[in-house]
């Protein structure tokens, strides 16, 4: 019954997202854009569509498209067409299409949307399509690819969070939270700030990613797997550390991520906690910036990761062909090529960085070594409800930052509101 309710609610949302969805399905239009219909076949060739927000990334998108073309060149009966949907609308657009029995054959999801789609029965089980025992999969992140005992995804990208720092401003990176605070305060003067993070409700998903590092880095967790622990003492300690930095005025208050990342590239921000995908973007903004990366200097070595699975649409009529692409992607040479495209991210399997890569970016090993202590931005045990919980938590954290309530009262309220949300 839950699956039918979810599908009906998604179908009702089709009209609202028709313009974005037209990129993939035409939203019922008689005209059909290239690569639009899932599993379409022409001239004996099965045509698949692969949708990913990263395909629209100006830094990595063109290289990912070439990588897909390598697959197409290796095949005679299957062809994959890329479909880029902007990140802000990606989840809603794809889930709406899948809920109406349409959409791309292959999708690169972020974890909250992956959990929602898995919970709604919209993703094809992979157990009988891909024999994962043939591959040396990364153990820690791969566990999140299994939903209710069934494998629904294969890791496309795992981008761990670390501390980026301006090596011209900071000769020795801080190794403790106390040193982190001291460094941030020391660097803040004039139009230069020691640190930057998101702190506005308009960037809800980004604030969630940022506070995740503080909560888990101070020994906290959003749940124990069975019940929510939003207002636990450990969580309060981590969120208080985040608030203390906000109150210390060592960040450009009110600046969105695009603004303060540009400031980092311009040498106006000393430190930022971000994921491996930020390496390519930073170099794209300023190829001459002298920056490096170190582990986040919090008491507990746990941090977030942008964990992005690749999945097969349950509505696809060409699941075997889609699985052929996944198996091709898992081949060692293709995994290495994908990792080189993604930059500082990990892929599904254990790989070895080339000497050329390490010569250009010596700190790649920092990201790789964090894989076994990184966690996706979901609430364990409540994965499909993460977006609802996230909204409640972020609203209350922002209220505490703005001084309309104290932090403990805000988190007590978040605990109750989120408990009501999950039922």
- Of 211, 202, 344, 213, nearest to 259 by C-alpha is 202
Total domain count for the chain? 2
- Give one word for 14, left, alpha or beta, with left for phi > 0 and alpha for psi -120 to 50: alpha
The answer on 243 and 282 residing in a single domain is: yes
The answer on 230 and 137 residing in a single domain is: no
The answer on 361 and 250 residing in a single domain is: no
| 381-387-389-393 Cα dihedral, nearest 10 degrees | 130
Q: From residue 14, how far is each of 1, 37, 160 by CA, in Å? A: 21, 16, 34
Residues 26-64 pLDDT 10s: 333 233 333 334 566 556 899 999 999 989 887 789 999
- Of 420, 391, 396, 416, nearest to 406 by C-alpha is 396
The answer on 278 and 396 residing in a single domain is: yes
The answer on 271 and 190 residing in a single domain is: yes
Residue 365 predicted with pLDDT over 70: yes
The answer on 76 and 18 residing in a single domain is: yes
Residue 14 predicted with pLDDT over 60: no
The answer on 281 and 250 residing in a single domain is: yes
The answer on 243 and 151 residing in a single domain is: no
Quickly state the pLDDT bin for 76 (edges 50, 70, 90). Answer: very high
Cβ neighbors of 60 (< 8 A, separation 6 or more) are: 54, 277, 280, 341, 342, 343
Residues spanned by the domain of 153:
2-158+306-375
Q: Which two tokens stand for residue 421?
A: 């949300």
The reported pLDDT for the residue numbered 42 is: 58
The answer on 149 and 124 residing in a single domain is: yes
Pairing mode of beta strands 269-275, 154-166: antiparallel
The answer on 387 and 322 residing in a single domain is: no
Residue 206: Cβ-neighbour burial (10 angstroms; 0-12, 13-18, 19+): middle
Residue 264: which CATH number? 3.40.190.10
The reported pLDDT for the residue numbered 307 is: 95
Distance from C-alpha of 117 to C-alpha of 339, rounded to nearest angstrom: 26
- Mean per-residue pLDDT, 344-355: 93
The answer on 281 and 398 residing in a single domain is: yes
Residues 283-331 pLDDT 10s: 989 999 999 999 999 999 999 999 999 999 999 999 999 999 999 999 9
Question: The whole model's pTM is what?
Answer: 0.83
| 413-415-417-423 Cα dihedral, nearest 10 degrees | -160
Residue 287: Cβ-neighbour burial (10 angstroms; 0-12, 13-18, 19+): exposed
Residues 80-109 pLDDT 10s: 999 988 887 888 899 999 999 999 999 999
Pairing mode of beta strands 40-42, 45-51: antiparallel
The reported pLDDT for the residue numbered 85 is: 87
DSSP notation for 18-44 = HHHHTTTTGGG-SS--TT-STTEEETT
Contact in structure between 50 and 65 (CB atoms under 8 Å): no
């Amino acid at each position: 019954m839950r699956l039918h309710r979810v599908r009906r609610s998604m179908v009702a949302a089709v009209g609202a997202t028709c313009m974005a969805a037209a990129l993939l399905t035409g939203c019922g239009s008689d005209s059909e854009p290239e690569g639009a219909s899932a599993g379409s076949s022409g001239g004996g060739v099965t045509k698949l569509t692969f949708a990913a927000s990263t395909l629209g990334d100006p830094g990595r998108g063109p290289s990912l498209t070439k990588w897909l073309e390598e697959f197409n060149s290796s095949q005679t009966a299957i062809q994959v067409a890329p479909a880029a949907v902007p990140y802000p609308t990606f989840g809603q657009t794809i889930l709406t299409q899948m809920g109406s029995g349409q959409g791309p054959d292959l999708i690169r999801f972020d974890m909250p949307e992956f959990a929602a789609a898995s919970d709604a029965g919209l993703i094809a089980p992979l157990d009988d399509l891909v024999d994962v025992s043939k591959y040396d999969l990364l153990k820690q992140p791969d566990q999140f690819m299994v939903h209710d005992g069934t494998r629904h995804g294969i890791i496309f990208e795992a981008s761990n969070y670390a501390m980026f720092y301006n090596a011209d401003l900071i000769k020795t990176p801080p190794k403790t939270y106390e040193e982190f605070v001291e460094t941030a305060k020391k660097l803040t003067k004039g139009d230069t700030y020691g640190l930057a993070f998101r702190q506005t409700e308009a960037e809800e998903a980004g604030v969630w990613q940022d506070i995740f590092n503080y909560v888990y880095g101070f020994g906290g967790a959003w749940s124990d797997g069975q019940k929510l622990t939003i207002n636990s003492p450990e969580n309060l300690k981590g969120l208080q550390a985040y608030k203390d930095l906000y109150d210390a005025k060592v960040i450009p208050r009110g600046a969105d991520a695009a603004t303060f990342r540009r400031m980092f590239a311009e040498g106006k921000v000393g430190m930022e906690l971000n994921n491996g995908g930020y390496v390519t973007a930073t170099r794209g903004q300023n190829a001459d910036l002298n920056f490096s990366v170190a582990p986040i200097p919090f008491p507990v070595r746990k941090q977030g990761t942008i964990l992005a699975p690749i999945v097969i649409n349950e509505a696809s009529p060409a699941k075997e062909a889609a699985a052929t692409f996944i198996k091709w992607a898992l081949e060692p040479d293709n995994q290495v090529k994908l990792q080189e495209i993604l930059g500082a991210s990990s892929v599904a399997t254990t790989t070895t960085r080339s000497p050329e890569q390490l010569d250009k970016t010596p700190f790649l090993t920092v990201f790789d070594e964090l894989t076994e202590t990184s966690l996706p931005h979901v609430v364990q045990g409540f994965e499909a409800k993460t977006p609802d919980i996230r909204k409640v938590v972020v609203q209350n954290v922002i209220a505490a930052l703005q001084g309309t309530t104290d932090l403990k009262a805000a988190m007590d309220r978040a605990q109750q509101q989120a408990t009501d949300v999950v039922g």
